[in-house]
Amino acid sequence: MRVLGLASYPVEAAATRYRLEQFVAPLAERDIELTIKPFLDSSLFASLYQRNRMVPNAAGLFRAAVGRLGDIVRAREFDLLLVQREAMLFGPPLVERLSMLLGDCPMVLDLDDATYVSYTSPTYGKLASRLKWFGKTDKLIKYSALVTCGNSSIAQHVTMMGKQASIIPTVVDLDKFLPDPAKTDNGIPTVGWVGTHSTFPYLESIFPVLRELAKARRFRLKIVGASVEQIALQGIEVENLKWSLEREIADFQSFDIGLYPMVADEWSSGKSGFKAIQYMAVGIPYVVTPVAACAEIGIPGETHLAASTPEQWYSALENLLDDWDVRRLMGRAGRAHALEFYNLPLQSDRLATALRTASGRKGEM
């Protein structure tokens, strides 16, 4: 079976890398050929959220839109269309619909975020919201033969619309995401977070807790991907790094404790809890706000600690900072949990089944 994968972003984006790209080889072993066509190239993706490049970015988006027309024609060469979120970052779902009709192939929609929830871009504001064509995701769900969902919250939304959902969590290759064998209790612990400019406010929400904790405990804070020039917290040594694909695994391995603060809103409820799986994969304990999928991943008290209030965050981090043995045992438990429930072969089987199920509905469009 031949599958055309249309992604919004290039491989540098986690959604493309972990929802599509890493499945190419496993699907090939299951007699499914997946060809991925991203909307943005790597260069445009790197500059997209820089406001001082709005004019060249607009020109780049226009070129990308023209290039997408070729993928509509190319769909005729495939048996199935797999769309990761949306084929283009703006406008109505015309590319998806035309690809289905001209290619005479069913569509599987992949949602790892609640993109059906209205969202205001922190970079481009309401202008981007209007161009995003709110309501597109629900139309895509209606067009789909099946929707693969990052968590049960998204799946519930899909089934309420009368469509079949298959839950496939976002995972990593556990042969690559490995614990650091050299990690020891050899000094000042590193508390770390990896995210993006859009999720950095979640981390900022626990800055008061970290400042208070630093009055009694010594630790380093490592922040990756915030896209903020300077981050200073009184009493804390802060390492603020740009995200790097080449350094991604090493950054996670460098942490002694992972941070995963969230907020309880509709958008966050669609998050797939991916960071928790990455922390467990490299064998480090983490503290998480138990919201939606984040409350479903791992075993509180065994693989991680859960915290909702500032007092709970302080207590959880204090316990982990004070006890190397607890960190070590919790990290091992997390790694074992990831190996059992969040391994790539298991999710590859689920994805292959979903794609075959959808391809069998070719006459139902």
Task: Say yes or no to pLDDT of 128 above 80.
Answer: no
Q: How much of the chain exceeds pLDDT 70, in percent?
A: 94
What is the C-alpha separation between 108 and 90, in angstroms, rounded? Answer: 19
Task: Say yes or no to pLDDT of 131 above 70.
Answer: no
What is the C-alpha separation between 351 and 282, in angstroms, rounded? Answer: 24
Domain covering 190-341: architecture: 3-Layer(aba) Sandwich (3.40)
Answer yes or no: are the C-beta atoms of 286 and 320 closer than 8 Å: no
Domain covering 2-171+343-360: architecture: 3-Layer(aba) Sandwich (3.40)
What is the C-alpha separation between 152 and 211, in angstroms, rounded? Answer: 35
Task: Say yes or no to pLDDT of 328 above 50.
Answer: yes
**pLDDT single digits (tens) 29-68:** 999 999 999 999 988 888 887 766 767 788 888 899 999 9
273: left (phi over 0), alpha (psi -120 to 50) or beta: left
Q: Give residue 313's pLDDT band: very low, low, confident or very high (50, 70, 90).
A: very high
Question: Among 38-52, 79-93, 182-196, where is mean pLDDT lowest?
Answer: 38-52
Length, in residues, of the chain: 365
pLDDT reported for residue 363: 45
Task: Say yes or no to pLDDT of 361 above 80.
Answer: no
**pLDDT single digits (tens) 95-107:** 999 999 998 999 9
Q: How much of the chain exceeds pLDDT 90, in percent?
A: 79
pLDDT reported for residue 109: 98
pLDDT reported for residue 344: 98
**pLDDT single digits (tens) 219-256:** 999 999 998 989 999 999 999 999 999 999 999 999 99
* DSSP codes joined into one string, 104-126: T--EEEEESS-TTS---BTTTHH
What average pLDDT does the chain have? 92
pLDDT reported for residue 148: 98
What is the C-alpha separation between 138 and 42, in angstroms, rounded? Answer: 28
Question: Which one, of 57, 65, 48, 107, lies nearest residue 82 by Cα?
Answer: 107
What is the C-alpha separation between 296 and 300, in angstroms, rounded? Answer: 10
Answer yes or no: are the C-beta atoms of 272 and 170 closer than 8 Å: yes
Task: Say yes or no to pLDDT of 188 above 60.
Answer: yes
Rounded average pLDDT over 115-121? 75
Q: Where are the domains of the chain?
A: 2-171+343-360, 190-341
**pLDDT single digits (tens) 255-302:** 999 999 998 777 777 788 999 999 999 999 999 999 988 999 999 999
Do the domains spanning 2-171+343-360 and 190-341 agree at the CATH topology level?
A: yes
Rounded average pLDDT over 328-345? 98
Q: Give residue 210's pLDDT band: very low, low, confident or very high (50, 70, 90).
A: very high
pLDDT reported for residue 51: 65
Question: Which one, of 168, 158, 11, 5, lies nearest residue 87 by Cα?
Answer: 5
Backbone angles phi and psi of 93, in degrees to 5? -80, 50
H or E element in which residue 140 lies: helix 136-143
